[in-house]
Structure 1
Amino acid sequence: MIKLLRVDHRLLHGQVAVSWSKNLDIDSLLIANDDVPVNELRKSMIKMAKPQGIKLVIKSIEDSVKAINSGVTDKYKLFIVVESVEDAYQLAMGTEGIHQINLGNLKKTEETKQLSKLVNITDEDESMLKELVGKGIEVEARAVPGDKKLKIQDVLK
């Protein structure tokens, strides 16, 4: 069962490893990203940040969609972390099990606009988020579980 899909440009770090994992009571963590499976440095850094007692799986976006759709992930209390809104969109549109997306930390660039203190999105991201909300997926922004949820539809025009 997919507990949550989180978008965070940093992928796995202290906030994710500790607060979200404990709050969600997960037993498996999926890092869905096209670069990490082939980038040994990033992969080893993520493995070092993995919380004890939690299974860590690192797969490409395509392989993640296949795994979720095959049912192999159904036996786990799964927390998925992706790097971008586009990755989240591909997973959510390619599978049936994603009902909630958390926007955690999306860095500011010249192409982005600020939605909240830590969430910056492009126009393309905004279009994808609107489509996800329209599909009935709850999209919210907050850094840690104790923060107040900011529902994305309330800040998107």
Structure 2
Amino acid sequence: MIKLLRIDHRLLHGQVAYSWYGYLGVNAILIANDRAETNDLMRTTLNLAKPPGSKLIIKSVQDAIDAIKSGKADKYNLFIVVSNVDDAYTMASSLDCIHLVNVGGIEARADTHRFHGDSNINLSDEDERKLRKLMEMGKKVELQMVPSETVKTL
């Protein structure tokens, strides 16, 4: 069961590894990131950041989609983390079992603006369009850095 799909450009770090992992009560974290799948240093760093006793799975976005569709991930309560809106859109629009997309930290780029003045959430017009499209598909989209923070919506 997929508990949450989160967007966070840092992927796995203290806020994600401890706050969200504990709050969600999951038993596995799936990092869906093309770069992380092939970068040994990044994989090692992500493994060091995972909570003790947790299972960490690192796959490309497409391999993650394929694994979930095949049923290989059915034995886990999954917390999925991607680094950007594009990857979240690809996953959520490809998988009916993803009902909630949580937008966390998204780094500033030349084409982005701070969402409602939040310095941690930077969205381009295209990012907002894709998130709204997910909402039109029936997905819930929430903006929230940590579980104790008030949820914001688009």
Q: Report the TM-score when normalising by structure 1.
A: 0.94
Determine the C-alpha separation between the residues in 2 that align with 1:143 and 1:93. 23
Residue in structure 2 matched with residue 129 of structure 1 by the alignment: 131
Determine the C-alpha separation between the residues in 1 that align with 2:41 and 2:17. 18
Residue in structure 1 matched with residue 13 of structure 2 by the alignment: 13
Residue in structure 1 matched with residue 89 of structure 2 by the alignment: 89
Q: Kindly provide the amino acid, as one letter, of the partner of residue 131 in structure 2.
A: L
Q: After TM superposition, give the deviation of residue 115 of structure 1 in Å.
A: 1.0
Residue in structure 1 matched with residue 121 of structure 2 by the alignment: 119
Which structure 1 residue ranges, 4+ long, deviate > 4 Å from structure 2?
none
Residue in structure 2 matched with residue 138 of structure 1 by the alignment: 140
Determine the C-alpha separation between the residues in 2 that align with 1:95 and 1:49. 27
Determine the C-alpha separation between the residues in 2 that align with 1:74 and 1:99. 16
Q: After TM superposition, give the deviation of residue 123 of structure 1 in Å.
A: 1.6
- How many residues matched? 152
Determine the C-alpha separation between the residues in 2 that align with 1:122 and 1:151. 16
The reply to whether residue 35 of structure 1 matches residue 42 of structure 2 is no
Residue in structure 2 matched with residue 155 of structure 1 by the alignment: none
Determine the C-alpha separation between the residues in 1 that align with 2:41 and 2:55. 20
Q: After TM superposition, give the deviation of residue 74 of structure 1 in Å.
A: 1.5
Equivalent of residue 149 in structure 2, options 147, 150, 155: 147
Q: Kindly provide the amino acid, as one letter, of the partner of residue 86 in structure 1.
A: D
Task: Supply the RMSD in Å over aligned alpha carbons.
Answer: 0.8
Q: Kindly provide the amino acid, as one letter, of the partner of residue 4 in structure 2.
A: L
Determine the C-alpha separation between the residues in 2 that align with 1:126 and 1:141. 12
Q: Please give the per-residue CA displacement for 1:61-114, whole angstroms capped at 9, x wherever unaligned.
A: 000000111111122110000000000000011111100011010011111011
SS in 2 for 1:119: strand
- Between the aligned residues of both structures, percent identity stands at 46
Q: Please give the per-residue CA displacement for 1:29-55, whole angstroms capped at 9, x wherever unaligned.
A: 000000001111111110100111111
Q: Please give the per-residue CA displacement for 1:1-54, whole angstroms capped at 9, x wherever unaligned.
A: 000000000000000000100000010100000000111111111010011111
- For structure 2, the residue ranges without an aligned partner over 5 or more in a row are none
Determine the C-alpha separation between the residues in 1 that align with 2:153 and 2:67. 29
SS in 1 for 2:5: strand
Residue in structure 1 matched with residue 23 of structure 2 by the alignment: 23
Determine the C-alpha separation between the residues in 2 that align with 1:73 and 1:119. 29
Residue in structure 2 matched with residue 109 of structure 1 by the alignment: 109
Determine the C-alpha separation between the residues in 2 that align with 1:66 and 1:43. 20
